[in-house]
Every structure is written in C-alpha cells, then in structure tokens.
Amino acid sequence: MSELYSEKEITLADAIDHGLTEEEFVKIQEYLGRKPTVTELGIYSGLWSEHCSYKNSILLLKTLPTESSRLAAKTGEENAGALDIGDGLCVVFKIESHNHPTAVEPYQGAATGVGGIMRDIFTMGARPICSLNSLRFGPPTDKKNRYLLTRAVKGIGDYGNSLGVPVSGGEILFDESYSRNCLVNAMTVGIVRRDKMVKATAAGKGNPVFYVGAKTGRDGIHGASFASQDLSQESESRRSAVQVGDPFMEKLLMEASLELAQTDSFIGMQDMGAAGLSCASSEMSAKGNVGMELNLDLVPLREKGMNAYEIMLSESQERMLVVGKLGQEKTITDIFHRWGLDAVQIGTVTEDGNLNILWQNKHCASIPATSLVLGGGAPRYKRETSKPAYLEIKRKLSDIQHRAPADAFLRLLTSPNVCSRRPVIEQYDAEVGLGRVLGPGGDGGVARVPGSKKGIAVSTDCNSRFTYLDPRQGTAFAVFESARNVAVTGALPIGITNCLNFGNPKIPENYYIFSECIAGMADACRALGIPVTGGNVSFYNESEDGPILPTPTIGMVGLIEDVDKVVPAWFQTPGDEILLVGDFAPVLGGSEYLKLFAGKIDGEIPHVQADAEMALIQFLIRAAEAGILASAKDLSMGGVACALAKSVLSRNLDPRGRKSTANGFRLTSGVFVGNVELFGETSGCAIVSVSPSNLESLLKTAKDADVPIQKIGIVSDNGVFDFGEFKAQAAQAEDAFEKGLVEIFS
C-alpha cells in the first residue's frame, strides 16, 4: 500500500464539525494509531452517527425480548427481521424513519424513505407483498403543515405505486409537537423461501465486490449525520442531505436482485443506505470478519469532480453492494445488465480486516472494519435520566365542560385524528399484485402469501398521547393495540418491528422517557410471547419549540393460516347481533375527546392488563378459526361511539365491505350512558358482530377464553345510528366522517 493521502491535517475542530466528540476523536486515533485522513473522518462520522451506530440506544435495545421459535434471522444481524411461517417460507419485515429529510424536503424525503425500506426487504431475497406507513404532522389547519403532509403523502404514493407494492394499512396522528418535526415511518413486508434468504456478509479472500444499480451523485451526503441532530433553521436548509429517488430504477433493481437471489453466484448483498458505500462495505466486512479493498475510480458516477469523501458518503438511492464468488463474475453482471443497470467490480475481499480505499492512485483510507460498526468499535452510551416534573403530578380530570353527546359525536367524526383516511388512501395503490385480502381503512390489513392460503396481517400503531402521559404503560398499550389490530382480522400476532421517535437523548428527561418506553415494550412483548425482530431509532426530533410527543411506533405482523377465514372490520348483515368483548373501562385521560374539547393532553390513561389483552386476542383468533364472526373492530381513538360508527362507515373503503347491506345499528337502551362511556378510550376491548345462528357458539367461545362479553345491540339497515341516549342519521355521520381531510388534499 502507498502512503495514506489526506487533503489536510485533521484537527479536533474538524471532528466536532462532523458531529463527533473529543472522546470519540481520541478513540478513532487509538483504532488507527494516527490521525484520520479526510476520507476516514467522513466515514467515522457517518458510521458513528446515531442513525447508524445507535450509540445512545443500543444498550437499552438489548433489553428487549428477541427470542422466538420462529426466528429465522437474529435480531440486528440482517437488513430486516425474519420469522418462519411454515411450509419453508419466511416473512421479512422492518420499519424505518425518514423524519428529518421529510421535514426539509417532504416529497423526496418521504419517497426515499419508502425506497430505502423496500431495499432492506428485497436485499434479503424477499419479494415485498405490502407496505404501511405511520405519519405524524402538526395540525393541518396550518399552511406549512398542510404542505408537508400533502407532499409527503404524494411522495409515498408515487414511489410505492411505481414499484407495484400495495399499501395495506397505516395511521396518521396530528399534534402541535410535530409542526417542526414531522414523522414519516415506512414499513415493508416481504416473503422469501427460507433456503433462499440472502445474508448481508462478505467472505472469501479474492472474491469480487460489485457495485450494482444506479449511479452515484452528491445527493444525501451526510444524510446519516444530518438525521442525528436537532432540527434548526440552519439544518432545515441542508437540502443536499436529502436523497433523490427514482422508483422506476428501484423497480429494475428489485427484479434484478431477486433474480440474483435465486442463483448460487454470490456470498452476500447489502443496500447502500445511510452512509452509503461506507456503511455497506464496513458492515459486510465486519460481519464476515474480513476486509475489502475498493477502487473508487471504478464507481459509476453521474456527477463530475467527485472525490473519495463524497463517493464513500453519498446516499444516492437505488444502489447495492454484492460480494460475488470468484469465477461467477459474468453471471452477476449479466443479470444486472439485462435489467439495464450498472454492475461493476470495484474491489475484492481481503483477509486483513481493513477497509482500504483507493482513489486516483491515492490510498485515502485504511480502517479496521470492526471499529466502525454497531456491535464492534462504535461507541455505546447510556445517558443520564431524570423523571420529568410533569410525570410527578397526579393527573385527575375534574373540570371538563362536557358537550351534548349528539354534537360531540359528529364533531369527533370530523376530527383529523378520527375521520376517514380516504383522501390519503386513494393516493396509494392497494390493489396492485392481486394480493390484497383486507386493505387500508380497517384496523389491520391482510395480504395473501403468494402461492399459498396463508395471509400476513399487518398494523402500525402508537398513541403518542398515552406515551407522553405514561411512557411505560403507554408503550405497552401500543404493543397490545397493534396485536389487537391483527387479531381482529383472525391472525395470530407473531412479532414486531419498531420505529422509536424521540427528542434529544442527551437531555435527561428525554432519555428517561425513552428508557421507560423500552421497558413498556419489553413487558408487553414478553406477555404476548413475541420477539422484537429489529427496527430503527430516530432521536433528535426536537427543535427550538421542544421535543415531539414520544412516539415508539409499533409495526406488528400476524399470521393467518387460511385467508378465507379473515374477518372484516365492517358490519355485514342487518339483524346481526352486536357485542362488546373485553374489560370495558373507558377514561378521558389522553383521549381525543379531551384534546378536542378541552384543548389539553392530561389525565390518567387506560389501565393496561396483560392477562385481559391475551384473553381477548385468544378469543378473537378462536372465533375467526371457527368461522362464527361476521365482523370485528378494535376500540381505540374516539371510544366506543366512533368504533361503532366506523363499523358502518368504513365499509366503503374496501371491496369486501361493499358487500355489506348494513347502514345503521340500534343499541340496547342504557348500555352506554354519558360521554365518558361513549367517547372515553379503553384498553383490551373490541366490537364484534355475529349472526343470530352463531350467537351461542360465540358466547361459549368467550366463556372458554375467559373474556367478558355482553350483547349491546343489533345491526340495522334503516340509516340510523341509535345509541339509545341519542340518535344520528347515518348520512349525516357519513358526511362528517368523510369531509375531515378532504379540504386539506383538495
């Protein structure tokens, strides 16, 4: 090797400018035995950023349950989680954030978030079968918030639709805390044969290293470190840190990668995501306990004059790194060339464990690969915690000025947090691929496993108000609600991925909330007996206005063995009995009712009981397997009144629901009395409907599952929502429900 080349002598000030600390700069010099070069400093900056290294979260993440008999890929070791679903198949899934880029450039920020999570799935050899998203924005009455929301939704729709991957579900919540820090969490689910699952590793001295996909430009440079700091006016102006996507190029890359995955011509493959080529090369090397020598003069570029620093840190989209087998070079290049993509050997695998970078006959970097990566030499911190003062206050609600129930009901249906998502859903293709069983609009979506009767139920969920008021119980609530969302379709919850969106971890109060949320997630997953298969941490969602509401988004996956037994979320037939299942204990603490009419987030959240949640889930699954449920709907935001309304109104969002002839209901007089019972929110409950002929079987199933159940009314076709305490015309309710987001997207 020639002498290392650096454009300048690196100082502590340079390291700090790259987001590194003095302690980290000293550690880098210890690993290298010298000061880093310019290129090396950039690589360490990207790989040691919070976005790549999880340095402020990994010690707590390791406390989450990760074991399962279904586990097909060890948590954190591959691009996504993978669970065995039988018949030699695995479901591969992951959720990730693209928050800071979306806040700066919403269309490309959201679009490339979708593209990145898709690559994490098909990089493992899995074909994506559906996608979801979880969105948080400031109140849509604000002009900038409307702009961010509508452009982000368009970016998600345009990219996903072009790829031909249907959307199966998602969620949106609006709150003032997201006005400066919107959240875009994207999730993708795929299917792969277990014996064809691709690993993100390198091995074999002399094996060729291929760059495949789109050309490299200057977009996205320092995207990883950009996503690891608070948003400010200065950072919001850094549009160069936001990637630019090309979904049609990604479609070609997906098909070529999946074709390659069926061959025996390569060792491993990894997406060039955060920190680009630096991340892919170092992580694959470290995992295989090998090194790589890369010649950057061979990297396909779309811009002139790019140097080694820029090439290594570019986050240009639609690119992969493939470690091939010696002698199989033509097989690899032929596949990608057939799809019109670049496929260039840019290096080889070495045995010295170093990442060696050459550019213009200069030796720009020589770094021990393990020193760069999570689980290796990347720093790990456990930050100071301090319980926020507001959590010490006993949060009793006694001064609520209640609205008339009929007025409150229609107003809640119009609320952006409750109303129809049709203006959003209609921008997403839910039909492409013909795999949709239940699409967006209910609690959980269901996608058919190709060539099988199996179905995968999916949900994203988090009530950020609950996690603000009680971080531990609120996060447990989010896990259980996600489990209910797939269980109401008839699916067994089998695992979660998470996207943990929080403020600055160096603020002790923020880190206390984060640590409590992790504990709550662990509690709930252990109770359910399911693993956390991976995910994403997004810190620094904070501006001069303060942090966002803590948002540990849960991506839940469930398995149903026979999609013919999937249960819809909509009432089906007039005359069917309506029943309330579960331990009904509604409260106004943290509710939409309280925020809408009192303008505050306060009070005690619904009490979470793991045993009650498990009993409800078992009941829903057994009743679905027996074929005795006509519909099932989880109780969530807006309480039982809004759940009943959605059991009628949401039928128009799904072809299966359009078969319904139900357009109303009549509740037993006195079953729900007062606004707390009607609009308060509760844990562990669902609304189900059943034909009279199946009623006794359903009651017996509930008894066997030891879950409370009561008859509360009858499905009707008279166009009236009769709550006993008040009545509303179905047409009036539908108008309120449908118009909530229409003007925002018009």
pLDDT digits 0-9 by tens, 156-170: 999 999 999 999 989
Q: What is the pLDDT of residues 22-34, one digit of tens each?
A: 999 999 999 999 9
Which of 296, 288, 299 has the alpha carbon at shortest distance from 349?
288
Type of residue at 203: A
181 and 212 belong to one structural domain: no
The CATH number of the domain where 351 resides is what? Answer: 3.90.650.10
Q: What is the spatial distance between Cα 721 and Cα 732, in angstroms, rounded to a whole number? A: 10
**174 or 441: which carries more pLDDT confidence?**
174
Tokens read off for 266: 């390569």
* Residue 655 clears pLDDT 60, i.e. is over it: no
**What was the pLDDT predicted at 86?**
97
Please say whether the beta carbons of 666 and 720 come within 8 A.
Answer: yes
* Residue 1 clears pLDDT 70, i.e. is over it: no
Going 56 to 59 to 63 to 67, the CA torsion angle's sign is positive
Instruction: Name the pLDDT band for 606 (thresholds 50, 70, 90).
Output: very high
Instruction: Name the pLDDT band for 224 (thresholds 50, 70, 90).
Output: very low
Q: What is the spatial distance between Cα 255 and Cα 43, in angstroms, rounded to a whole number? A: 30
Q: What does 632-656 look like in DSSP terms, one character per residue?
A: EEE--TTHHHHHHHHHHHGGGGSTT
Q: What is the pTM of this model?
A: 0.94
Is residue 378 included in any domain, yes or no?
no
Of 532, 565, 598, which closes a domain?
A: 565
Instruction: Name the pLDDT band for 453 (thresholds 50, 70, 90).
Output: very high
221 and 323 belong to one structural domain: yes
Instruction: Name the pLDDT band for 746 (thresholds 50, 70, 90).
Output: confident
Q: What is the spatial distance between Cα 101 and Cα 148, in angstroms, rounded to a whole number? A: 11
Percent of the chain at pLDDT exceeding 70: 96
Highest mean pLDDT among 69-78, 515-524, 650-659: 515-524
Is residue 665 included in any domain, yes or no?
yes
**What was the pLDDT predicted at 653?**
65
* Residue 229 clears pLDDT 50, i.e. is over it: no
211 and 170 belong to one structural domain: no
* Residue 604 clears pLDDT 90, i.e. is over it: yes
Report the DSSP pairing between strands 551-560 and 362-368: unpaired
Going 378 to 384 to 385 to 390, the CA torsion angle's sign is negative
Other C-beta atoms lying within 10 Å of the C-beta of residue 204: 16
* Residue 405 clears pLDDT 50, i.e. is over it: yes
Q: In sequence order, what are the beta bridge partners of 234? A: none
Tokens 């994403």 appear where?
536
45 and 73 belong to one structural domain: no
> Chain centroid to CA 496: how far?
10
Instruction: Name the pLDDT band for 684 (thresholds 50, 70, 90).
Output: very high
638 and 531 belong to one structural domain: no
Residue from 51, 100, 222, 363 carrying the catalytic annotation: 51
Instruction: Name the pLDDT band for 242 (thresholds 50, 70, 90).
Output: confident
522 and 588 belong to one structural domain: no
621 and 590 belong to one structural domain: yes
Q: In sequence order, what are the beta bridge partners of 447? A: 436, 456
208 and 356 belong to one structural domain: yes
Is residue 399 included in any domain, yes or no?
no
Residue from 98, 100, 222, 363 carrying the catalytic annotation: 98
Lowest mean pLDDT among 35-49, 209-223, 624-638, 704-718: 209-223
559 and 585 belong to one structural domain: no
* Cβ-based neighbours of 724, under 8 Å, separated by 6 or more: 667, 668, 669, 670, 671, 672
Q: What is the spatial distance between Cα 235 and Cα 225, in angstroms, rounded to a whole number? A: 11
Lowest mean pLDDT among 337-351, 382-396, 697-711, 728-742: 382-396
Q: What is the pLDDT of residues 267-277, one digit of tens each?
A: 999 999 889 99
Instruction: Name the pLDDT band for 17 (thresholds 50, 70, 90).
Output: very high
* Residue 223 clears pLDDT 50, i.e. is over it: no
Percent of the chain at pLDDT exceeding 90: 86
CA dihedral 387, 389, 392, 396 (to 10 degrees): -140
**What was the pLDDT predicted at 208?**
98
HSE-up of 166 (CA within 13 Å, CB side)? Answer: 19
**What was the pLDDT predicted at 395?**
72
**What was the pLDDT predicted at 406?**
96
**What was the pLDDT predicted at 194?**
97
Please say whether the beta carbons of 133 and 170 come within 8 A.
Answer: yes
38 and 87 belong to one structural domain: no
* Residue 576 clears pLDDT 60, i.e. is over it: yes
3-state SS string for 430-484: CCHHHCEEECECECCEEEECCCCCCEEEEEEECCHHHHHHCHHHHHHHHHHHHHH
Q: What is the spatial distance between Cα 521 and Cα 533, in angstroms, rounded to a whole number? A: 13
The CATH number of the domain where 181 resides is what? Answer: 3.30.1330.10
207 and 173 belong to one structural domain: no
Type of residue at 130: C
Of 371, 387, 405, which closes a domain?
A: 371
Q: What is the pLDDT of residues 705-715, one digit of tens each?
A: 999 999 999 99
Q: What is the spatial distance between Cα 341 and Cα 389, in angstroms, rounded to a whole number? A: 56
Q: What is the spatial distance between Cα 353 and Cα 556, in angstroms, rounded to a whole number? A: 38
Is residue 388 included in any domain, yes or no?
no
182 and 37 belong to one structural domain: no
Is residue 4 included in any domain, yes or no?
no
* Residue 222 clears pLDDT 80, i.e. is over it: no
For the chain, the domain total comes to 3
Cα 250-256-261 angle, rounded to 5 deg = 120
**What was the pLDDT predicted at 375?**
87
Is residue 642 included in any domain, yes or no?
yes
For residue 18, indicate whether it is catalytic: no
* Residue 220 clears pLDDT 90, i.e. is over it: no
Name the DSSP class of 739.
H
* Residue 234 clears pLDDT 60, i.e. is over it: no
Q: What's the residue count for the chain? A: 746
Q: What is the largest CA-CA distance in the chain?
A: 87
By CB neighbour count within 10 A (0-12 exposed, 13-18 middle, 19+ buried), where does 495 fall? buried
Q: 302 lies in which domain range?
A: 12-56+198-371
Of 565, 600, 621, which closes a domain?
A: 565
Is residue 61 included in any domain, yes or no?
no
Is residue 259 included in any domain, yes or no?
yes
